[in-house]
Amino acid sequence: MQHLATCHPEVMSNFILGIDLGTTSVKAVLLAAGCRTVAAGHSEPTAADVSDDRGIKAKEQDPGGIINAVDRCLAQLPGDKLQHVSRVGLTGQMHGVLFWKANSGCDWSNGNYFTPRDTSQLVTWQDGRCSSEFLSSLPKPESHLGVSTGFGCATIFWYMKHRPQFLEDFSVAGTIQDYVVSMLCGLDSCVMTPQNAASWGFFNTTSNQWNENTLKAAGFPIRLLPRCVPPGALVGQTHSAWHGVPAGTPVGAALGDFQCSVYSCMSSPADAVLNISTSAQLTFAMPADFTPPDSPQLESSISYFPYFDSSYLAVAASLNGGNALATFVETLTAWMKELGVESRDPCMYEKLIGSALNQESSDLMVSPTILGERHDPLCLGQVTNISSSNLSLGHVFRALCRGVVSNVTSMMPVEHLQRVGVRRLVGSGSALARNEVLRQEVERAFPLQVVYGQNADSAVGVAMALSD
Domain boundary among 253, 277, 299: 253
- Does one domain contain both 231 and 139? yes
Contact 231, 308 (CB under 8 A): yes
Flag whether 1 is in a domain: no
Flag whether 114 is in a domain: yes
Phi, psi of 220 (to 5 degrees): -65, 140
- Does one domain contain both 31 and 75? yes
Q: How many domains does the chain have?
A: 2
- Does one domain contain both 329 and 433? yes
pLDDT per position in the chain (468 positions), as tens? 333 444 554 554 699 999 999 999 999 999 998 767 899 999 999 999 998 777 788 999 999 999 999 999 999 999 999 999 999 999 999 999 999 999 999 999 988 999 999 999 999 999 999 999 999 999 999 999 999 999 999 999 999 999 999 999 999 999 999 999 999 999 999 999 999 999 999 999 999 999 999 999 999 999 999 999 999 999 999 999 999 999 999 999 999 999 999 999 998 999 999 999 899 999 999 999 999 988 877 778 999 999 999 999 999 999 999 999 999 999 999 999 999 988 777 889 999 999 999 999 999 999 999 999 988 988 999 999 999 999 999 999 999 999 999 999 999 999 999 999 999 999 988 899 999 999 999 999 999 999 997 667 899 999 999 987
- Does one domain contain both 201 and 236? yes
Q: Give the domain extent around 113.
A: 15-253
**How many other C-beta atoms are found inside a 10 Å radius of the C-beta of residue 15?**
27
Flag whether 468 is in a domain: no
- Does one domain contain both 222 and 87? yes
In whole angstroms, give the CA distance from residue 122 to residue 179: 10
Contact 129, 196 (CB under 8 A): no
- Does one domain contain both 232 and 272? no
- Does one domain contain both 209 and 336? no
- Does one domain contain both 206 and 293? no
In whole angstroms, give the CA distance from residue 346 to residue 314: 37
In whole angstroms, give the CA distance from residue 355 to residue 362: 12
- Does one domain contain both 173 and 149? yes
Domain boundary among 253, 277, 303: 253
Flag whether 6 is in a domain: no
- Does one domain contain both 70 and 115? yes
Flag whether 459 is in a domain: no
Domain boundary among 205, 230, 253: 253
In whole angstroms, give the CA distance from residue 416 to residue 404: 19
Chain-centroid distance of CA 65 in Å reads: 17
CATH code of the domain covering residue 441: 3.30.420.40
- Does one domain contain both 273 and 249? no
Flag whether 466 is in a domain: no
Contact 238, 186 (CB under 8 A): no
Flag whether 47 is in a domain: yes
Q: Taking the model in full, what pTM does it have?
A: 0.88
Flag whether 245 is in a domain: yes
- Does one domain contain both 371 and 445? yes
